[in-house]
A and B are shown apart, each in its own frame.
Chain A
Amino acid sequence: MADSEGPVAERAGASARLADRLARVDRGWWATVIGLLVVGLAWAIP
């Protein structure tokens, strides 16, 4: 089986699709995720 059809190419394709999807996520959602991460870290630090 050629590389372009194999599991490596499949993983690379999936990763590119994920990156593309993430790039399209609205900035406001990123702000929400980062804000909640900060709150989670602030809560978890003893």
Chain B
Amino acid sequence: MSRAVDAARRWLPGLGLLVAIALVAQLAAAPVRGLSPLLLAVAIGAVGVNLVGVPGWARPGADAHALLLEVGIVLLGARLALDELAAVGPRLLVLAVATVAAGLAVVEVLSRLSPSIDPTAGSLLAAGAGVCGVSAAAAVARSIDADESELAYAAGTVVLFDAITLVAFPAIGALLALPERTLGVWAGLAMFSTGPATAVGFAAGPTAGEFATLAKLARNSLIGVVAAAYAVAYGRSGAGSAGVGRTVIGALPRFLVGFVLVMAIANLGWLSPAALARVDLVADWAFLLAFAGLGLSLRLAPLRETGLAPVAVVGASLASVGTLALLAAMAWF
């Protein structure tokens, strides 16, 4: 019992802060046509953390944003029809494999050409930019025994581009008048971290949000293979093929299991329209709270230490792979 009370004391203040930010974003965005409460929640969090920081009492709850995002994605499974997924899934998977391979190759080559980027740090940058942000960089760091400072270096660069793309992608989408499906697929294929990609998608509309999440999940599902390939390339694959298998399975995001289960339950017709509406409502709030917390995680001060070289390398990758992904999304979706 005391353990439950302790956990509540630890988590509730920060969760309360996320709820407050979410409510302010909802209220402020409601009267303004075209202003998304999701992106406003990210912006309020980002401005707050960079101006005044996050108080110590709120940190544990505010850090729950990653869990809330994964809960939102698990629940999103209820919205997706299997026949629609079967129709677009193969195309998304092909594009995901192509963009991940291109992103890894561009960052690896450019970072090897830059004398100020260590090869290990270059590989972490490649994983972060190519697959799924900080979590991919962390998975590859484990598989090649990179040290903490190299991971922090890659994570700082990824967070900087998360902040930039959160503003740039909706602006470019509006400029080019991209349809929701195209914008969603592009964000899912080209943006680095899952949170910002889904935020940009859902800010444009539910269809864009679903396609952004699907495209991003297709990329995320490749993290196990990428981490295992790096372990082999760096000669750290452990006990041969068994070690490679363990790395592939171990690095897979576990919430994909929940996403598939919820999609199966919904597609079997076990949920009434009223039940589906309730699941939708909880998913919407999980995303809104997650994006408020995502904003609070976008601290820009530590990024001054990362230097210009990784920013130039990752920026070149984003520009080249992002352009190709945009053209592919426009042609196929």
Interface string of A17-46 (1 = CB under 8 A from B): 001000000111111111110110111010
| Interface class of chain B by DSSP | helix
Q: How many interface residues does chain B have, given as a range?
A: 20 to 34
Q: Is the CB of A30 within 8 A of B265?
A: no
Q: Is B3's CB under 8 angstroms from A19's CB?
A: yes
In the assembled complex, the Cα of A39 lies from the Cα of B255 at a distance in Å of 15
Q: Say which size band chain A's interface belongs to.
A: 10 to 19
Contacts of B276 in A (CB 8 A): 42
Interface residues of B (CB under 8 A from A): 3, 66-67, 70-71, 73-75, 77-78, 253-259, 261-262, 265, 270-272, 275-276, 278-279, 282
Q: Is the interface of A mostly helix, strand, loop or mixed?
A: helix
Residues of B within 8 A of A33 (CB): 258
Expressed in whole angstroms, the minimum distance between the Cβ of A22 and any Cβ of chain B is 10
Q: In the complex the two chains form, is B278's CB within 8 Å of A32's CB?
A: no
Number of A-B contacts (CB under 8 A): 74
Pick from A15, A19, A26, A42: contact of B271, CB below 8 A.
Answer: A42
Given A31-B70, A32-B74, A45-B278, is A39 in contact with B256 using a C-beta cutoff of 8 Å? no
B254 contacts A28, CB within 8 Å?
A: yes
CB <8 Å contact, A32 and B282 = no
- Pairs A–B under 8 Å by Cβ, sample size 14: A15-B3, A28-B70, A28-B257, A28-B258, A31-B73, A31-B74, A31-B254, A31-B258, A35-B71, A35-B74, A36-B261, A39-B262, A42-B279, A45-B275
